[in-house]
Amino acid sequence: MRSGRSITTYLITMKDTETFLNQYEDHVQTTGFGVPGQEALTRSRMLVIGAGALASPMLSYLTSMGVGSLGIVSDEKIRKSDLPSQPVFGSGQEGKLKSQILASRLRETNPEVKVNLHEQGLNRDNVLSLIAGYDLVIDTTNIPGMSLLINDACVISGKPMIYGSLDFPSGHFSVLNYKGGATLRCLLQNQDAGILIRQPQKVGLATLPALISCMMANEAIKIVSEIGNIASNKLLSFNVFSNQLTSIRLEPVSANQALTTLLSDYAPTPTDNLSKPSRIRSISPKLLDIKIKYKEPLQLIDLRQNPPEPVDESWNYLHIPEETLLSDLERIHQDIIVVLISENGEEAQKLATLLNERHGFDNIHYLEGGMEAWNKQRDGTSIDYENI
């Protein structure tokens, strides 16, 4: 937070004004940010929970930009599969603690930044004490249950929280508990936003976490320097295939802001299990409605024998009877979500699993409950389920 002092006072109190102004020249010359913004940044204390795909790009930028103090909470170790999405780590470092490698790199990048390591796993017993020494908490765990623990601790402690999650090809982020704004519990209770972040999480191509990570870092900069529009009371979702940024408004719920104690049970200690998602993927009728509503890139494949023609020609729709699907693989997209639809979901589930496990696909979903469940959904949307 800015103190309101004049620029002259800022300059006088800097240990080495010339070095400071040279190192952060671009920041200082940025209208609306300037020396006051940079000074606020150098006094800020941020805690980043996690050290994986969302955390490492963010930590690099926050360090190079001159954040005063950075805490890293992680007991994760480097795996070979981490290297594409976490280029801060190198070949030959497998098995080493991510936090230690990160800390060494960050201290080399900017020795003026204080880097604090918290190498224990985050849990109900230590979360409140860990966040106590920081002004801002950034959740990069990409684990819904763990995010809820972090959220509740931030509400109890009165700390703002930046939340991010990945579900390729989309990534989501929001600023929570900011000046009485919506919390993660408010987000979960929102019909459109909540269902997006409850889905199995997947990193996908390495560029997605890098983009979302930078957006989260940008929110942190705006919060501590008090500039720009903060992503509070909204969930922002970016799709890397369509280049579409979607904003879902969140309403603060007073009961969610009145927590005084943590729940008795939360998710287990976070681990970096993002590179091994389940090969059996499903999508609920409600979530499919949302993806259609926000025009996410999809391919719908109807496996029924004689389905009606789709009413909306803009949908990416194919009719491929289930018995011929395996001989028509060249018609199936590999770079967007593909949803297989059968009458009750059973045949679609079998084929989705087969395609993902034995035919090199990683993007095939089946519609839970099939057309029977989708017809029952009818929750006021304008979609004609019978004529998809």
Question: Are 72 and 160 contained in the same domain?
Answer: yes
Strand partners, 236: 173, 247
Higher pLDDT, 197 or 269: 197
How much is the pLDDT for 15? 53
Taking the C-alpha atoms of residue 215 and residue 58, their distance in angstroms, rounded to an integer, is: 9
Q: Is residue 14 part of a domain?
A: no
Asked if pLDDT for residue 26 goes beyond 90, the answer is: yes
Indicate the average pLDDT of the chain: 86
Range of lowest pLDDT (178-182, 252-256, 281-285) = 281-285
- The arithmetic mean of pLDDT across residues 27-35, rounded, is 93
- Return phi, psi of residue 69, to 5°: -140, 130
Q: How far, in Å, CA of 148 to CA of 168, rounded?
A: 21
Q: Which of 223, 257, 291 is the last residue of a domain?
A: 257
pLDDT at residue 274 tops 90: no
pLDDT for the residue 358: 79
Which residue from 121, 107, 114, 116 is spatially nearest to 74, judged by alpha carbons? 121
**More confident call, 351 vs 7:** 351
Q: How high is the pLDDT of residue 17?
A: 79
Lowest mean pLDDT among 88-97, 217-226, 310-319, 327-336: 310-319
Residue 190 in domain: yes
d(CA 14, CA 205): 42
Distance of CA 18 to the CA centre of its chain: 38
296 plus 241 within the same structural domain: no
Predicted local distance difference test score (pLDDT) of residue 2: 53
Quick one: 287 and 236 in the same domain?
no
Q: Can you read off the two tokens belonging to residue 300? A: 């719908």
Classify strands 244-249 and 234-239 as parallel, antiparallel or unpaired: antiparallel
Joined together, the tokens standing for residue 320 give: 């491929």
For 211-225, 270-284, 295-309, which range has the lowest pLDDT when averaged over its residues? 270-284
Q: Are residues 247 and 364 in the same domain?
A: no
Query: How distant is the alpha carbon of residue 343 from its chain centre?
Result: 33
Tell whether 200 and 330 lie within a shared domain: no
pLDDT band for 42, please (50, 70, 90 cuts): very high
The reply to whether 224 and 343 lie within a common domain is no
The top-scoring range by mean pLDDT among 143-157, 214-228, 320-334 is 214-228
Q: Residue 46 has what pLDDT?
A: 98
Query: Are 331 and 378 in the same domain?
Result: yes
Which structural domain range is residue 215 located in?
44-257
Residue 200 is predicted with a pLDDT of: 54
- Shared domain check, 290 and 197: no
- Give residue 4's pLDDT: 46
Give me the mean pLDDT over the 192-198 stretch: 77
Asked whether residue 250 falls in the same domain as residue 296, the answer is no
Quote the pLDDT of residue 296. Answer: 84
Supply the CATH number for residue 350's domain. 3.40.250.10
pLDDT tens-digit map of 230-261:
999 999 999 998 898 999 999 999 999 999 99
Does 150 map to a domain?
yes
Contact indicator for 332, 352 with CB cutoff of 8 Å: no
Which tokens go with 48? 């980043």
Domain identity same for 290 and 191: no
For residues 288-294, average pLDDT: 85
Is pLDDT larger for residue 91 or for residue 214?
214
Most confident of 10-24, 210-224, 262-276, 328-342: 210-224
pLDDT surpasses 90 at 368: yes
Instruction: Verify that 203 and 76 share a domain, yes or no.
Output: yes
CATH number for position 132 = 3.40.50.720
What local confidence, expressed as pLDDT, does residue 79 receive? 92
Considering the domain boundaries, does residue 292 fall inside one? Answer: yes
Predicted confidence at residue 380, as pLDDT, reads 47
- Does residue 34 form part of some domain? no
Kindly state whether residue 99 falls inside one of the protein's structural domains.
Answer: yes
How far is CA 5 from each of CA 12, 30, 134, 224, 365, rounded to the nearest angstrom? 11, 18, 23, 15, 56
Would 272 be classed as within a structural domain?
A: no
Per residue in 337-358, pLDDT tens? 899 999 999 999 999 988 888 7
pLDDT for 266 equals: 73
Q: What's the pLDDT band for 193 if we cut at 50, 70, 90?
A: confident
pLDDT at 242: 85
Indicate whether 269 belongs to any domain.
no
Residue 207 or residue 198, greater confidence: 207
- Say whether both 331 and 208 belong to one domain: no
Question: For the chain, what is the domain count?
Answer: 2
Round to whole Å and give the CA distance between 168 and 18: 44
Q: Tell me the pLDDT tens digit for each residue of 262-273.
A: 987 774 433 333
Which carries the bigger pLDDT value, residue 225 or residue 191? 225
Mean pLDDT, rounded, for 318-322: 93
Identify the H or E element spanning 106: helix 98-109
